[in-house]
Amino acid sequence: MAQHTVTLIPGDGIGLETSAAMQRVVEAAGADIVWEVAEAGAACAEKTGTPLPDETIEAVKRNKVAIKGPCTTPVGTGFRSVNVALRKTLDLYVCLRPVLSMPGAGGRYDDVDLVIVRENSEDLYAGVEFEEGSEAASKLIKFCEDEGAGVIRPDSGISIKPISITATQNIVRYAFEYALKHGRKKVTAAHKANIMKYSDGLFLRTAREVAKEYEGRVEFDDRIIDAFCMNMVIDPAQFDVVVFPNLYGDIASDLAAGLVGGLGIAPGANIGKEYAVFEAVHGSAPDIAGQNKANPTAEIMSAAMMLDHLGELEIAERIRRGVRAVYADGSVLTGDIRKATGSSAPAASCTEFTEALIAAIKDQA
Ligand code: NAD
C-alpha cells in the first residue's frame, strides 16, 4: 500500500475532537498516511493574526489533498469565511455531498441515496458586498436607478449574486460525469429561474444545454428550489444527483442531512482540478465543543471519501462497513443520534464511539 502525505487542518471547536478521532480510525483501518498539520480558523486568527495563513495554503498545494475540521466564522462582522477563501484560492469549484440513509442513525427515511453537487465559487458566496452607508453602496444604488434596473432603499447593504456560464458549465458537467462514473441515472438542477432570470435563468439554460450532451445516457430534469425542498421532505428517494448554485446547495445540504440522521453523519468534499479538501458538512458546534460529545462520523466518512480519492478504495470501504456495523449494533452512539432516534439509552462520548468503531473495523480482519 502506498504512503500518502495529507494536510490536516483540525480547525476550531469540535474539529479538534473529530479530527483526532478521524486520524485514529484511518490508521486503524490500515492507511499509511503522513499527516502534515496546518492551522486555520478563529483560534488561528487570535494566535497569528490571520485565520488562513499562507503556509496553510502552501501545505495544501504541496500535498494536493487535505482534510479539514470546521472553522468558526464570526456572524455578521469580522473576518470572511476561511472555507470560502480556501475554496476560492484553490479553485475548488465542486462541493460534493453524498447523502445516504444508514440504519440506526435515526433518519426520517430509510431509502435516501442522493448526491448533492454544489457550485462552490460564485453566487451570493462570491464575497462581492457593499456595506450599508458606504460610498460604494450609494454609487451602486444610484447606478441601478440610472440604468432603470430598479430602486434600492438608500439604507441597504448589498451582496452581489454573479452566476456565470463558465462556472455553471463546469459544475453541471461535473454532475453528469459523476453520474456516469457512479452508475447514477438522473441529474436534477435546482434553481429559482422564475424570479432571478439573469442569474438562475442562466444557470437553468446552461444546465439544459450541457444536459443535451448526455441525452440517452443520463436523464435530466429541473426543480424550482422551493418545490425541491418540499419534495425532499415528502419523498427524497426520487432524487439521484442534484446540482445547485452555491447558496441553495448549502441550505439543501443541511436539509438533506436532517433527513438521514443529522449533521453528525454528513460528509463532504471540495474538489478542483488540482486540489481536493475533504470536510464534514457541519460547523464547529460551539455549544458542545471541548466536551467530548461530538459525533466524529461525518469527518470519518469524509476521510473515507478522501481515501477513495487517493485510490485506497478497500480501506475506505472497510471504514464504511465499520461505521454501518456500529450504527446497526446501536449500543455505542453519540448524543445527537440518541436524540434523532428518540432513544433514552446513554450517549457515548466521542472517544467511546471512536473506540467502538475501531473495534468494528478490526473485527472485519
Ligand atoms: P454547526 O454545524 O456547528 O452546529 C449546528 C448544531 O448541530 C449544533 O447544535 C451542534 O451541536 C450540532 N452538531 C454539529 N455537528 C455535530 C457533530 N459532529 N456531532 C454532534 N452535534 C453536532 O452550525 P452553527 O452552530 O451554525 O455554526 C457554528 C460555527 O461553525 C459558525 O462559526 C459557522 O460559521 C461555522 N461553520 C463552519 C463550517 C466549515 O468550516 N465547513 C460549516 C458550517 C458552519
pLDDT in tens, 179-220: 999 999 999 999 999 999 999 999 999 999 999 999 999 999
Give the model's confidence band at 81: pLDDT under 50 very low, under 70 low, under 90 confident, else very high. confident
309-326 burial: b if 16+ Cβ within 10 Å, else e:
bbebeebbebbbebbbbb
pLDDT at 181: 96
Catalytic residue list contains 125: yes
Catalytic residue list contains 198: no
CA distance 294 to 13: 10
What are the respective helix, strand and coil percentages of the chain, to the nearest 5?
45, 15, 40
Question: Could you say which DSSP state residue 348 is in?
Answer: B
**Cell matching residue 72:** 468558526
Average per-residue pLDDT for the chain: 96
* Under 8 Å between Cβ of 236 and 112: yes
pLDDT tens digits for range 233-282: 999 999 999 999 999 999 999 999 999 999 999 999 999 999 999 999 99
Range 65-94 average pLDDT:
88
Catalytic residue list contains 146: no
Which atom in ligand 1 lies closest to the alpha carbon of residue 279? 41
Range 64-91 average pLDDT:
88
* Catalytic member of 93, 125, 178, 248: 125
pLDDT at 121: 93
Give the model's confidence band at 140: pLDDT under 50 very low, under 70 low, under 90 confident, else very high. very high
CA distance 183 to 180: 5
